[in-house]
A and B are shown apart, each in its own frame.
Chain A
Amino acid sequence: MYEVTIEPTGDVVEVEEGQTLLDASLRQGVWLPFACGHGTCGTCKVQILEGEADPGDASPFALMDVEREEGKVLACCALPQSDLVIEADIDVDPDFLGYPVEDYEATVESITDLSPTIKGLRLRLDRPMAFQAGQYINLQLPGVEGARAFSIANKPSENDVVELHVRHVPGGAATTYIHEQLAEGQTVPLSGPYGQFFVRKSASEDLIFIAGGSGLSSPQSMVLDLLEHGDTRKITLFQGARNLAELYNRELFEALAAEHENFNYVPALDAPEEGSGWEGFTGYVHEAAIAHFDGQFGGHKAYLCGPPPMIDAAITALMRGRLFERDIYMERFLTAADGAEGGTRSALFKRI
């Protein structure tokens, strides 16, 4: 297993023995330009800045000798032979602050039941961590192999704790440990901040947040951060949950909506229990967004966070309402149950 750092964004991906750079990157949610996928076109050419890689089966016409000597490789064929730093043809967003990733010791301050399936964790850090609202940390748990990613739910100004929302994934080692064994006072190592999910503050457009299940974490951090800084753009948060018991932190957002004229909060339940007295929107969260905006989303920036089917439905709804890739940002919550994304992918979209 090699660690590959991708400049200029600083994303880090892990590449297994015999796995190509492109495969590892795409599977870990880091987009690199590519087209043919088998070494004949050269679209995925990257520059190696540090380390060694085998160029693999790259065509001599797509990756020429002089380029090989310069340390260029095709990501779709290249097999790392050591940890690498590469430079790819990807854009750095001017709103990305690029806080350094560091290791922290965190002490479990509290564990609360947010819903029947979601626990809220507050971890106190051994020192402050600078992060952007929307980013995530990698948490290590005793007896669980590898680190697990969780989005930070608190606002960045509260920089000596991280608040996490953890849904129990049946059979999932890490979430089962958190739900059944993790105790207050326990210390756990974590690293961060990671990720390219953050608010484009320099953009003037009004904002839409669509969150599903424990995917509320990032949007919560983002909304709290925006309101704390007195942002005057219109902000609408759609929160999707199965039923009333699963709809958590509702009071928090209802209070914020009452306090801030520019903030709207729209919860949606897709399967409210009979007799629960639910009077809000019934249906999927993307349907709530369509109803609220009358199907027209142009002129916004949209931020999506939640399970893959929700993200997928939300993207389709937004695009049908004429909001396109350049204005849609997302964090997919993949679990082991989702597996690697199966099937052939077209090269039509880069990030969505």
Chain B
Amino acid sequence: MAARKLNLKERYSLLTRDLDWEYSYRDKKEIFPYEDFEGIKITDWSKWEDPFRLTMDAYWKYQAEKEKKLYAIFDAFAQNNGQQNVTDARYINAIKVFLTGVSPLEYQAYSGYAHVGRQFSGVGARTACQMQSIDELRHVQTQVHAMSHYNKFFDGFQDFSHMHDRVWYLSVPKSFFDDARSAGPFEFMVAISFSFEYVLTNLLFVPFMSGAAYNGDMATVTFGFSAQSDEARHMTLGLEVIKFLLEQHPDNVPIVQRWIDKWFWRGTRLLAIVAMMMDYMLPNRVMSWKEAWEVYFEEAGGALFKDLARYGIEMPKYAATAIAEKDHISHQTWSTFYNYGHAAAFHTWMPDEKEMDWLSEKYPDTFDKYYRPRFEHWREKEQAGERFYNPTLPMLCNTCQIPMGFTEMDDPSLIAYRQSVYQGERYNFCSDGCKDIFDHEPEKYVQSWLPVHQIYQGNCGGADIEKVLSEYYRINMGKDNLDFHGSPDEARWNAWHNLESAEERLKKAG
């Protein structure tokens, strides 16, 4: 009988887990010291099903071809002065948010997977994490390359990695990943592979990539497609992790449920910035944040949690609050950034009349009632030459590190405050979800590096806010920050397209 052709699974198995070895002269616990301390019980690593089934030789071949294609498109984009063909220079600010807030997370993911890829005693899980680690490194590189073109023509891109580590709002994504990477290996996997890559990734990637497509940004669309072709492997890994943990031992179920509760909530807080990007920063809008949330979380996530119920896993604890927030979160977040537009490394602005009408239509229950009057007031002030900037420093949530600007959902005129006292100190939170996370591990979150506290403690280059912004954050004052109207970005854009400046338009309108 002819030798049977091996299927992909068998080929993969021969090239990966069969290369593992027995540890004969060292204690296994000493080699994998982090595998037990989270309380997770693994009884049989052989039950792990490899999610990727891609061998290294095939991996290099595919990735190399993807890179060739991708860089050819970047070159064409640059040669055709693609930066001039986007819908409007305001759009570029969405990309600034991406480069400073999201791309460094790809780097954090690379580092996180490299770490846990060493920590599992199961070889299947180790290999999967190592491959994802390499993917993540590729993603950060291609993103930086794609956006380096914009750096030649627009402000705010030049110091993205320095800013990621220091700037107040970038501590939100940074602390999210720091939290995951400083957790145990299984929590990291539930946090990033499952809660983030599987449950919430569509709410991060799809809005940015379709936003790019709708606004003529072919470079970003292309790196998006290139990254998404890897993303499926990552999502599959997220599903395998969760199934594996839940099936290995019944004692794992409550631990996993708590991690899902925590990382779902942390994830939704992180996505507040995507919500504002979708509703306020795209000149050509794809869909509203509320619509995206309904499709990608309520519908797709609902189907997932219906299946997970078979394992005894319930909907994340604060899903109902997050669902109620879909009507408010983008408006409240944009308000916060508009308030602190002088302290951000991208531009903010008030929506024009047409854009406000779109928001009214998409948010019939909330926009006209709670947000439009405030925005019209700010617009009037701007027209009167008194563009509003908030001169104070906001209190930050001790868990998610977002300024405390979110409201109670049953009373959108009341800011939500929660507090806990730990060892005689008082800690503040924006929500029940963030307070719960702190209360479960206070010894971890008392160490939060909260930018406003750090400024007041004199750890950010001095007591003078101008100095903090320009020297410690390295924001080019008057160029990277402030309103889009009157910015050098706007002036360059208008010069390329022979347009009047906003100031001139405002004068005429007034």
Contacts and interface: CB of A to CB of B under 8 A. Distances in A.
A65 B68 CA distance: 12
B229 interface: yes
Interface stretch (A39-47, A136-144, A224-232, A250-258): A39-47
B7 A91 contact: yes
Interface residues of B, number: 36
A184 interface: no
Nearest to B239: A348
Secondary structure type dominating chain B contacts: helix
B236 A316 contact: no
A41 B229 contact: yes
Given A8-B7, A35-B232, A35-B235, A345 B303 contact: yes
Contact of B228 (A61, A326, A345): A61
A324 B247 contact: yes
A62 B9 contact: no
Contact of A36 (B69, B70, B232): B232
B66 interface: yes
Interface residues of A, number: 33
B311 A89 contact: no
Interface in B262-316: 299-300, 302-304, 306-312
A26 B231 CA distance: 22
A322 interface: yes
A89 B304 contact: no
A351 to B, nearest CB: 12
B69 A60 contact: yes
Contacts of A349: 307
A233 interface: no
Nearest to B231: A41
Nearest to B47: A326
Nearest to A60: B69
A315 B310 contact: yes
Contacts of A42: 229, 232
Contacts of A41: 228-229, 231-233, 235
B303 A61 contact: no
A316 B310 contact: yes
A171 interface: no
B106 to A, nearest CB: 16
B225 A59 contact: yes
17 contacts: A35-B232, A41-B229, A42-B232, A59-B225, A60-B69, A61-B66, A61-B69, A61-B229, A64-B62, A64-B69, A315-B310, A319-B310, A320-B310, A324-B243, A344-B299, A346-B306, A348-B242
Q: Which 5 pairs, one residue from A and one from B, show the smallest C-beta to C-beta distance?
A: A41-B232, A346-B304, A35-B232, A319-B310, A61-B229
Given A43-B233, A319-B311, 7 more contacts: A36-B228, A40-B228, A41-B232, A59-B228, A89-B9, A326-B47, A346-B304
